[in-house]
């Protein structure tokens, strides 16, 4: 995944740097169309940065420097590489002669860094243009620390008016309706969106929708109303919808399927993220699909290409979700012994699957399901387990300290595993892990590898999702205290969806690659990148 | 006979009080605050002292003990009733001792020296009859009543010492003491309050609306988000149902999680509890510690077919160990949890501890 991320970033770097290579870039233009604005912004930023750098220290040395260290590195494409110093020269806007020749070491370091960037850029471009010859290069480049320029996701920049304007323009161009925030937002979370379930974005789309495929519209509505919930379910639904889209897709004349289809997918993805912010698993699935589409050779016939893509999607679902859950179940069942009392929280499809499998294999255990307002997802898990005949107990999360002395193990599901070892999961998971730690009960997290993501986060504030605040309102004994919370100006309701659990509360993570400690997540990510 | 009328009147009142205790306890949460219960108990005890037939302190204590047992049996979780009874018993002992003229510096606690020197047991000492004992006892009980009425104000007056401006304070459930505390501080300082609604009864909603009407920035969060937002909280201020003899708490469910989260983030946990909530019980009586209410709060009957196959629990109280508590604020000032045992010896006589 880091590979494609880096590839994207490097494409952008390449494009922003380079006016000569515009012609070559136009071949890939189809892919980058939607990011044009961001590219332009980036271009300007780079110009400004370079202006500043030229004033400070002389990068004029880089004219000679790239040529010198470059041959020392094993390079397979010389023509594209020779182009690199040219691009670098063209990219320096002001004549370096204006700058002093002082601070050699700084300039040297900058030049070396730039040379490395050029090299990687060249190798990536060569890979796109050539194909097979660069097979050795990509293996080498991920082993170096790539200076990846990450762009901030839009959904955590709600308090920035410039970002909001950009988003509005982008959505207008894609003809996707913009969803407005609802209700008073707690000041700590003013950087996040807060939508109301009563105003789904589908209301603003005219029927029939010409830009957005109807199965995507349906999917968006199901997401925003909470009909489809849970990261596995959402990813699978997304992939099925994309299969439908690919089925109905027909290449317009003078366009290539590999570029045009990706363009078509972008407004759908914007629309879906307006309905509900994308989960980490969905993000990974989308990256995979985009990569598969762009890897389709241009001489492939349309029918063949479509079938190939459908097969890819099916394989992905099968491998990453279905088979992975079977592998995880096999590992996890070893950890369940007879007489265990297992605590689960909310409704995780994976954990439910594990428990049902263990019950089939004649393990004797009983389950305690912990639930929390306002979603009350535990009731769904309770229904599924009781249907299988497993003996269950049900409590709310405030009764956790009462019930925990009886518990022998805690099984938790995860929404994503972050690169610094934190577990992002449904709100309340961190509390369960905390109290379990206080009572010395082992906590096991079950998570498939396709949910691993490279983000890092230390608290639940910077990146989260705010659900409809009206869900917290409840009527008891005929009295609804919070009925008019909107009218009281100092009252806010906070309905968080996710929280992050620190790795020292988690004892073991069970993945389809085996049982690993929480801190080994970046290792798994690295291994996956090298494979791709 | 006027005495007979008074007696029937008295027993009627006692019966009415017992019935009310039983009823409110089985309802959802406390329909009346602990302060009111304490006040009514004390008033009833004063009436018993005034109207019942007794000739010596010992008889009075017997009567009060008997009634006290009945009252605590009606609602075991409402410990203020038992606390007030013990206070009154201590008052009677003190008044008796004062009437006898014996010095009051004698240490109340059991000690080997005391066992050796005090030959006879103190039991038969209470047989003496003093004319003014009744009046003294009633006067002392009146003092106790005035003290009870002033507890909330006393605690709120200390609010400004503990809350500075721009703080984020977290609380859970609905405690009248904490509400008054925060409102008092809000008159002079600006701060934010985060209230954890306390499922399934959601008392937090009430306190949130009440605080926000006083222009305090309030946020309501579900219980599951307690740990998630704890990193931004500066102080946790909670009320409690009972303060136990070891300095621990019996508080509304969810408080233990809150205390653990506060400990993890090293956030001070302050408990606002008036002195009448201090009870000489210890938390090791497992069978009497917890109180449960109908599980349909947790899993309503509408869930139908799975109800019969599932155990649902709905405990009302949580035990919070004293290591997690930083400070007790009561009407006599601020104290550390390790000092609670000392306060107990001032309020209650050790012989009254087991009722």
Nearest to A397 among B223, B306, B311 (CB): B223
pLDDT of residue A95: 42
CB-CB contact of B327 with B146 (8 Å): no
C-beta atoms of B299 and A491 within 8 A = no
What SS3 class is residue B47? helix
Q: Which of chain B's residues have a Cβ under 8 Å away from the Cβ of A398? A: 198-200, 223, 253-254, 257, 318
Encoded tokens for B307: 């109800």
Rg for chain A, CA atoms, rounded: 26
Which residues of chain A lie closer than 8 angstroms to B206, CB-CB? Answer: 481
Residues of A in contact with B264 (CB under 8 A): 434
Minimal Cβ distance to A428: which of B198, B224, B264? B224
Q: Token pair 């769904």 is at which residue?
A: A380
Distance CA A93, CA A419 (A): 37
Rg (CA), chain B: 22
Longest dimension (CA), chain A: 81
Residues paired with residue A424 on neighbouring β-strands, in sequence order: A416, A500
Which residues, in sequence order, are CB contacts of A110 under 8 Å at separation 6+? Answer: A53, A57, A59, A62
Across the interface, whether the CB atoms of B199 and A372 are under 8 A apart is answered yes
Find the helix or strand (DSSP H, E) in which A424 lies.
strand A423-426
Cβ-nearest to B205 among A188, A395, A481: A481
Q: Which of residues 64-83 of A touch B (CB under 8 A)?
A: none
H or E stretch at A40: helix A36-56
pLDDT tens per residue across all 532 residues of chain A: 444 444 444 444 444 555 555 544 444 444 444 556 667 777 777 787 777 766 654 544 444 444 444 344 443 444 444 444 444 444 444 444 444 444 456 666 776 777 777 676 666 665 554 444 434 444 444 445 656 666 677 777 778 888 888 888 887 777 777 777 777 778 778 788 777 777 777 777 666 556 788 888 889 888 888 888 888 999 999 999 999 998 888 888 878 888 888 888 888 888 888 888 888 889 999 999 998 888 888 788 888 888 988 999 999 999 988 999 999 999 999 999 999 999 999 999 999 999 999 999 998 999 999 998 888 889 889 989 999 999 999 999 999 999 999 999 999 999 999 988 999 999 999 999 999 999 999 999 999 989 988 888 898 888 888 888 888 888 777 777 777 888 888 888 888 999 999 999 999 999 998 899 988 888 888 887 777 6
CA gap B200, A301 in Å, rounded:
60
Measure the CA angle with vertex B341, ends B337 and B346; round to 5°: 125
**Residue numbers of A between 156 and 215 with CB closer than 8 Å to B:** 186-188
Nearest to B224 among A402, A431, A493 (CB): A431
For B264, which residue in chain A has the nearest alpha carbon? A434
Instruction: Say which residue the tokens 């161009």 belong to.
Output: A173
Q: Answer for the pair B85, B71: CB distance below 8 angstroms, yes or no.
A: yes
Give me the residues of chain B with pLDDT under 50, please: 27-31, 104-105, 107, 119-121
Does residue B285 sit in helix, strand or coil? coil
SS3 A172: helix
Q: What's the number of CA atoms in the CB half-sphere (13 Å) around residue A460?
A: 29
Per-residue pLDDT at A354: 94
A459 touches chain B (CB under 8 A): yes
Give the minimum alpha-carbon distance from A218 to chain B in angstroms, rounded to a whole number. Answer: 29
Q: Report the Cα–Cα distance between both ends of chain A, in Å, rounded.
A: 8
Query: Cα distance from B31 to chain A (closest Cα, Å)?
Result: 12
- Single pTM value for the model: 0.78
Q: Which residue has the tokens 């949580």?
A: B318
- Distance from C-alpha of A208 to C-alpha of A216, rounded to nearest angstrom: 13
HEC secondary structure over A291-326:
HHHHCCCCCCCHHHHHHHHHHHHHHHHHHHHHHHHH
Contact B95, B49 (CB under 8 A): no
CA pair distance A146, A204, nearest whole angstrom: 42
Q: Is A493 on the interface with B (CB under 8 A)?
A: yes
B222 contacts A372? CB cut-off 8 A: yes
Min Cα separation A383/chain B (Å): 7
- A265-276 per-residue burial string, b: 16 or more CB within 10 A, e: under 16: bbbbbbbbbbbb
- Contacting residues of A for B197, CB less than 8 Å apart: 373, 472
Greatest C-alpha distance within chain B: 71
Q: How many CA atoms lie within 13 A of A273 on its CB side?
A: 18
Q: Test A402 with B206 for CB contact under 8 angstroms.
A: no
- Return the number of other C-beta atoms located less than 10 Å from residue B36's C-beta: 15
Q: How far apart are CA B14 and CA A283, in angstroms?
A: 68
Q: Cα separation of A61 and B29, whole Å?
A: 77
Which of A398, A461, A477 is facing B254, going by the closest CB pair? A398
Q: Rounded to a whole number, what is the distance in Å from the CA of B85 to chain A's nearest CA?
A: 30
Beta-sheet pairing, B310-312 with A392-396: parallel
Q: Are B237 and B270 in contact (CB under 8 A)?
A: yes
Cα gap B352→A358, rounded to integer Å: 55
3-class SS at B292? strand
Number of DSSP helices (H) and strands (E) in chain B, helices first: 13, 11
How far from each other are the two terminal CA atoms of chain B, in whole angstroms?
34
Kindly list the residues from chain B whose CB atom is less than 8 angstroms away from the CB atom of residue A491. Answer: 208-209, 212, 218-220
In sequence order, what are the residues at sequence separation of 6 or more whose Cβ sits closer than 8 angstroms to the Cβ of residue B233? B168, B169, B170, B194, B262, B265, B267
Please write down the long-range contacts of B32-40, taking CB distance under 8 Å and 24 or more positions apart.
B33/B176, B34/B78, B34/B80, B34/B241, B34/B276, B34/B277, B35/B148, B35/B151, B35/B152, B35/B176, B35/B274, B35/B276, B37/B78, B37/B80, B37/B81, B38/B80, B38/B81, B38/B83, B38/B84, B38/B148, B38/B276, B39/B145, B39/B148, B39/B149
CB–CB contacts below 8 A, A to B: 161
DSSP helix/strand/coil, A48: helix
Contact B314 A396 (CB under 8 A): yes
B209:A481 CB<8 A: yes
Range 401-440 of A in CB contact (< 8 A) with B: 401-403, 426-428, 430-431, 434-435, 438
Chain B CB contacts of A379 below 8 Å: 299, 303
Closest by Cβ to A403, choosing from B199, B226, B313: B313
C-alpha distance from residue B101 to each of A361, B89, B95, B292 (Å): 79, 18, 10, 49
Q: Tokens representing A192?
A: 């996040």
Interface test with A, best of B191, B202, B220 (most A CBs within 10 A): B220
Residues A116, A73: contact at Cβ < 8 Å? no
Question: What tokens does B88 get?
Answer: 């009154």
Interface residue A494 vs chain B (CB under 8 A): yes
Q: What is the residue whose two structure tokens read 């309020």?
A: B347
Write the CB contacts of A103 (distance below 8 Å, at least 6 apart in sequence): A56, A57, A58
Q: In what order do the strands lie in the sheet with B327-330?
A: A491-493, B217-221, B192-196, B168-172, B235-238, B269-272, B327-330, B333-335
E strand residue ranges, chain B: 168-172, 192-196, 217-221, 235-238, 242-243, 249-252, 269-272, 310-312, 317-320, 327-330, 333-335
Shortest CA distance to A332 belongs to which of A360, A353, A310?
A: A353
Distance CA B278, CA B264 (A): 27
User: How near does any CA of chain B get to the CA of A469, in Å?
Assistant: 10
Interface of A with B in 465-484 (CB under 8 A): 472, 474, 476-477, 481-482
Contact assignment for B28 to A386 by CB distance below 8 Å: no
* DSSP label at residue A65: T
- The rounded distance, in Å, linking the Cα atoms of A17 and A29 is 15
pLDDT tens-digit profile of B319-348? 999 999 999 998 888 888 888 888 888 888
CB proximity list for A491: less than 8 A, separation 6 or greater: A184, A482, A485, B208, B209, B212, B218, B219, B220
Both tokens assigned to B279: 């009870």
Inter-residue long-range contacts of B205-211, CB under 8 Å, 24+ positions, other chains counted? B205/A474, B205/A481, B205/A482, B206/A481, B206/B174, B207/B171, B207/B173, B207/B174, B207/B175, B207/B178, B207/B179, B208/A481, B208/A482, B208/A491, B209/A481, B209/A482, B209/A485, B209/A488, B209/A491, B210/B179, B211/B179, B211/B182, B211/B183, B211/B186
Contact check, Cβ <8 Å, A396/B199: yes
The secondary structure element, H or E, covering residue A371 is strand A365-371
Q: How far apart are CA A18 and CA A91, in angstroms?
A: 6
| Burial state string for A313-340 with b = 16 or more CB within 10 A and e = fewer than 16 | beebbeebbeebbebbbebbbebbeeeb
Q: Kindly state the DSSP code that residue A452 receives in the 8-state scheme.
A: B
Write down the pLDDT at residue B318.
Answer: 87
Interface test with chain B among A188, A343, A374, A399, by most B beta carbons within 10 Å? A399
Of all residues in chain A, the one with the smallest CA distance to B232 is: A188
Contact present, A454 and A525 (Cβ < 8 Å): yes
Going by C-alpha positions, the residue among A13, A106, A117, A122 that lies closest to residue A53 is A106
Check: complex ipTM more than 0.90: no
């Amino acid at each position: 995944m880091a590979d494609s991320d880096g590839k994207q970033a490097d494409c952008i770097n390449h494009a922003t740097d380079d006016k000569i290579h515009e012609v070559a870039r136009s071949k890939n233009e189809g892919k980058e169309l939607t990011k044009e604005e961001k590219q332009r912004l980036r271009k300007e930023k780079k110009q400004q940065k370079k202006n500043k750098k030229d004033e400070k220290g002389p990068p004029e040395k880089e004219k000679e420097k790239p040529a010198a260290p470059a041959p020392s590195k094993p390079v397979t494409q010389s023509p594209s590489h020779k182009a690199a110093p040219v691009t670098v020269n063209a990219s320096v806007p002001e004549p370096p002669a204006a700058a002093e020749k002082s601070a050699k070491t700084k300039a040297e370091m900058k030049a070396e860094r730039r040379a490395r960037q050029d090299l990687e850029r060249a190798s990536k471009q060569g890979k796109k243009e050539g194909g097979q010859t660069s097979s050795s290069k990509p293996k080498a480049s991920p082993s170096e620390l790539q200076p990846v320029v990450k762009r901030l996701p839009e959904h955590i920049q709600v308090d920035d008016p410039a970002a909001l304007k950009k988003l509005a323009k982008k959505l207008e161009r894609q003809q996707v309706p913009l969803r407005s925030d609802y209700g008073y937002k707690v000041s700590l979370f003013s950087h996040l969106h807060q939508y109301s379930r009563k105003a789904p974005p589908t209301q603003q789309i005219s029927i029939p929708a010409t830009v957005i495929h109807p199965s995507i519209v349906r999917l968006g509505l199901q997401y925003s109303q909470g009909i489809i919930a849970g990261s596995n379910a959402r990813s699978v639904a997304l992939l099925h919808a994309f299969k439908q889209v690919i089925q109905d897709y027909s290449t317009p004349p003078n366009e290539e399927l590999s570029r045009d289809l990706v363009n078509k997918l972008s407004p759908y993805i914007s629309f879906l993220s307006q309905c509900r912010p994308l989960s980490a698993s969905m993000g990974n699935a989308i990256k995979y699909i985009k990569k598969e589409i762009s890897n389709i050779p241009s001489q492939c016939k349309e029918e063949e290409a479509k079938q190939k893509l459908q097969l890819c999607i099916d394989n992905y679902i099968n491998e990453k979700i279905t088979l992975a859950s079977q592998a995880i179940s096999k590992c996890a069942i070893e950890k369940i012994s007879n007489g265990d009392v297992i605590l689960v929280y909310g409704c995780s499809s994976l954990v439910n699957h594990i428990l049902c499998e263990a019950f089939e294999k004649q393990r004797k255990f009983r389950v305690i399901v912990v639930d929390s307002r306002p979603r009350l997802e535990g009731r769904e898990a309770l229904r599924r387990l009781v249907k299988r005949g497993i003996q269950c107990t049900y409590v709310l999360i405030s009764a956790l300290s009462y019930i925990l002395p009886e518990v022998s193990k805690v099984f938790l599901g995860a929404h994503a595993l972050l690169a610094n070892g934190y577990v992002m999961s449904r709100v309340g998971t961190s509390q369960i892990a905390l109290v379990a730690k206080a009572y010395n009960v082992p906590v096991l997290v079950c998570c498939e590898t396709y949910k691993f993501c490279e983000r890092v986060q230390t608290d639940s504030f910077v990146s989260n999702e705010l659900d409809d605040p009206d869900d917290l309102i409840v009527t008891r004994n005929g009295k609804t205290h919070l009925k008019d919370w909107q009218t009281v100006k100092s009252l806010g309701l906070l309905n968080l969806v996710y929280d992050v659990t620190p790795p020292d509360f988690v004892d073991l993570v069970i993945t389809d690659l085996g049982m690993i400690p929480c801190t080994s997540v970046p290792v798994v990510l690295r291994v996956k990148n090298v494979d791709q | 006979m006027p005495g007979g009328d008074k007696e029937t009147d008295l027993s009627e009142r006692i019966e009415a009080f017992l019935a009310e205790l039983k009823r409110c306890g089985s309802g959802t949460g406390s329909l009346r605050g602990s302060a009111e219960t304490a006040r009514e108990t004390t008033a009833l005890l004063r009436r018993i002292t005034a109207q019942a037939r007794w000739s010596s302190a010992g008889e009075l204590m017997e009567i009060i003990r008997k009634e006290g047992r009945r009252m605590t049996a009606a609602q075991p979780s409402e410990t203020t009733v038992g606390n007030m009874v013990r206070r009154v018993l201590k008052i009677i002992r003190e008044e008796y001792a004062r009437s006898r003229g014996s010095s009051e510096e004698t240490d109340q606690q059991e000690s080997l020296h005391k066992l050796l020197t005090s030959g006879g047991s103190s039991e038969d000492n209470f047989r003496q009859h003093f004319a003014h004992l009744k009046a003294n006892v009633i006067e002392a009980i009146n003092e106790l009543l005035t003290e009870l009425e002033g507890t909330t104000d006393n605690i709120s007056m200390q609010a400004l010492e503990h809350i500075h401006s721009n703080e984020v304070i977290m609380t859970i459930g609905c405690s009248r003491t904490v509400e008054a505390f925060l409102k008092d501080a809000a008159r002079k300082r600006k701060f934010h309050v985060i209230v954890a609604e306390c499922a399934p009864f959601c008392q937090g909603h009430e306190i949130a609306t009440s605080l926000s009407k006083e222009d305090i920035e309030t946020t309501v969060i579900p219980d599951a988000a307690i740990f998630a937002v704890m990193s931004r909280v500066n102080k946790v201020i909670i009320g409690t149902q009972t303060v136990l003899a070891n300095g621990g708490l019996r508080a509304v469910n969810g408080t233990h999680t809150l205390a653990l989260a506060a400990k993890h983030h090293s956030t001070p946990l302050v408990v606002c509890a008036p002195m009448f909530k201090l009870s000489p019980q210890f938390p090791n009586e497992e069978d009497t510690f917890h109180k449960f209410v109908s599980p349909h709060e947790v899993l309503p009957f509408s869930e139908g077919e799975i109800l019969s196959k599932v155990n649902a629990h709905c405990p009302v109280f949580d035990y919070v160990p004293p290591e997690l508590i930083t400070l007790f604020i009561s009407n006599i000032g601020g104290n550390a949890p390790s000092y609670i045992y000392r306060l107990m010896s001032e309020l209650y006589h050790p012989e009254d501890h087991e009722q």
